[in-house]
A and B are shown apart, each in its own frame.
Chain A
Amino acid sequence: MVKRPSDDLTLCGECHQEIAANYKKSLHYTTIGQRNRVVKRMSAEETKVFDEKVFEKSCRSCHATCGDCHVKSPSIGGVSVGLIDKHKFVRKNEGKTCAFCHGGRVYPEYTGEYGGNADIHYQKGMMCMDCHTMDEMHGDGKAYAQKEEVRDRPRCTDCHEPGRETKLTARVAHLKHSQTASCFACHSAGEYRNCYGCHLGGGSEAKPGFFLGTSPRNRKEITTLRIIPTVRESFKPAGIQQANFDALPNYWDAPIHNIRKRTDRTRNCDTCHEDRKGFLTMETLLKNSSRTNLELIHKPKPIPISK
């Protein structure tokens, strides 16, 4: 018996040559995106230790072989939910082929099973690959450092062209916010999963939450933020103090997959402009967290009333 036979991509590559070659460099296979982000919190010395003791032994265990998506559930934390369809190779069955790994946050948020509001695209019968391309799954042959570098990613405007709204109020609202708020900021239905306090070997705690603030990657834009569970002590067991912990915030801009046409923010401007519902504040900010978080706090201004 060969353990994880498709771990060696040359085996599948005998027939699927191009896919295997691309996949070898893909973020799904290398998981290098995780590494490249978190090491910004570390000194050069710490990065060496991280690569050796943490990334290769822990993070990399999540990398997906061909079989992890197309035959059986990968083992996550030592737990596998078994074969997809006996021992058959399954080309596409997103509820399994994608949700085996993305079933903690994105997928249950999309179906509404986490948070209680199904995404409008799921309502219409759309699955992952109706927006996400095969190149995103297998890679396009380039070795990206992290997913934000990938140009050909789905955008809301690929289908929803601004200016073609039937309702004038929607057209005006989109025009007004097009440079200042992401689509998710107004159209995310509500709470999504946030993980707190990740410790090497000890896991983290998950709770529903909803956070709006300045995007750490586009400071001109307000968007939905998801908590990054990395805390100052996360890698302490490996002897890593994270010398540059404050270089990154504890929140990333997150494309929450629970989109609805109407939300309390699209129904009433006051939800943001008066009540500031969901916006990060000094009071709600994570305690003992990165100082960079302060830069994400945004206070929407009241809408001036014309005389």
Chain B
Amino acid sequence: MIKAKMKAMVGLLAVLLILPAAAFAGEPFVTTEWLQANLSKVTVLDVRKVEEYNAGHIPGAINVFYGVWGIKKGVLLNELPADDDLKDILSANGIEPTTTVVVVSKNETMPFRTDATRVAWTLRYAGVENVAVLSGGIEKWEAEKRALSKDAVKPKAKAYKGKFNKQYIANKATVMGALGKAVLADVRAPEFYKGEKKLDFVEKTGRIKGAVNLPPGALYNADGTYKNKAEIEAIAKPVVGADLNKEIIVYCDTGKVCTNWWLALYDLLGYKDVKVYDGSSMEWLADPSAPSEP
């Protein structure tokens, strides 16, 4: 009997020890403790500028600057690169669909924080299955006096053969067709959602007609780390509903910041049909024929 209990205990311990090393599907925000414990099992992708990476990065991290992943297309900012360009970037960095990737950015402001989420979403779009961002960013890692390296890592190239998830992205026509049917989640601060403020590069104030508001800052604790699943669920459910099968389209000003809520809704909470409207307010509010309010 004691032997059986011992066996069960050992088995449980083994499972607990193995768990952190397993792929983290369903956990898009990982802690510094988790990353430290799993550093040898994941690819850390640092999306800060080259000079910042060279000055000190998480040991073993590779570097591809954010500006490579989110580009300007015509007048629109933070757009996806073409699929063949994206494949080249992944191939050059040896990222495969099965590679477990943790994206690291700076965390001090929302644009920096969402450099990581936008890249994570881009990787998910390109077909990389297990992707997370580091909660608290590089600043938390540094503040905890964890190891840093100045040795630039040259990744081994490997041809990328993943299948792109086109269902993760919406264009203007998709949004137009979804008006009145899908949940349109405006991931901007309430004053922007209400039409009281706008950024210079957005044509006018207002939101997509019928949109609900999921403020981007609602996902974070005061120290810039992500809230836990229960807390995030409690914020999301009253806004987007509890139906996990309902189509949800998130957008913001350029299609970058809203990717934090895409990761939260799709990868963390399990909503099955969540899209990013890449053109976002920049495109929609510049089109007089696109319904907006107030």
Contact = CB atoms under 8 A, between A and B. Distances in A.
A122 B50 contact: yes
A113 B92 contact: no
Given A93-B51, A118-B67, A124 B72 contact: no
A111 B49 contact: yes
Interface string A102-145: 00000000011101111000111111000000000000000000
Interface in B58-76: 63-65, 67-68, 71-72
A115 B77 CA distance: 9
B84 interface: yes
A190 B82 CA distance: 15
Contacts of A94: 51
A115 B64 CA distance: 18
B152 interface: yes
Contacts of A262: 82, 84-85
B63 A112 contact: no
Contact of A127 (B51, B64, B85): B51
Interface in A137-167: none
Contacts of B50: 95, 111, 122, 125-127
Given A95-B49, A262-B82, A262-B84, A112 B152 contact: no
Contact of A112 (B68, B82, B85, B92): B68
A96 B51 CA distance: 9
Nearest to A99: B51
Given A95-B51, A262-B82, A117 B88 contact: no
A123 B49 CA distance: 9
A273 interface: no
A283 B226 CA distance: 53
Given A125-B50, A127-B50, A127-B51, A111 B67 contact: yes
A117 B67 contact: yes
A118 B72 contact: no
Given A116-B77, A261-B88, A190 B72 contact: yes
Given A111-B49, A262-B82, A262-B84, A123 B77 contact: no
B199 to A, nearest CB: 15
Interface residues of B, number: 21
A112 B79 CA distance: 13
B56 to A, nearest CB: 13
Contacts of A126: 50
Nearest to B78: A116
Contacts of A122: 50, 65, 67-68
B89 interface: yes
B152 A117 contact: no
Interface of B is mostly: helix
B67 A113 contact: yes
A125 B152 contact: yes
Contacts of A260: 85
Given A125-B50, A127-B51, A262-B85, A117 B65 contact: no
A116 B67 contact: yes
A118 B72 CA distance: 10
A262 B72 CA distance: 14
Contacts of A93: 51
A94 to B, nearest CB: 7
A118 B65 contact: yes
Nearest to B63: A125
B51 A112 contact: no
Interface in A21-57: none
B67 A112 contact: yes
Contacts of A127: 50-51, 54
Contact of B71 (A111, A117, A124, A125): A117
28 contacts: A93-B51, A94-B51, A95-B50, A95-B52, A111-B65, A111-B67, A113-B67, A115-B72, A116-B67, A116-B71, A116-B72, A116-B77, A117-B67, A117-B71, A118-B65, A118-B68, A122-B50, A122-B65, A123-B68, A124-B92, A125-B50, A125-B63, A127-B51, A127-B54, A190-B72, A260-B85, A261-B88, A262-B84
**Closest CB pairs A-B (n = 4):** A116-B72, A112-B67, A95-B51, A118-B67
Interface of B: 49-54, 63-65, 67-68, 71-72, 77, 82, 84-85, 88-89, 92, 152
Given A117-B67, A118-B65, A125-B152, 5 more contacts: A112-B68, A124-B92, A126-B50, A127-B51, A262-B82
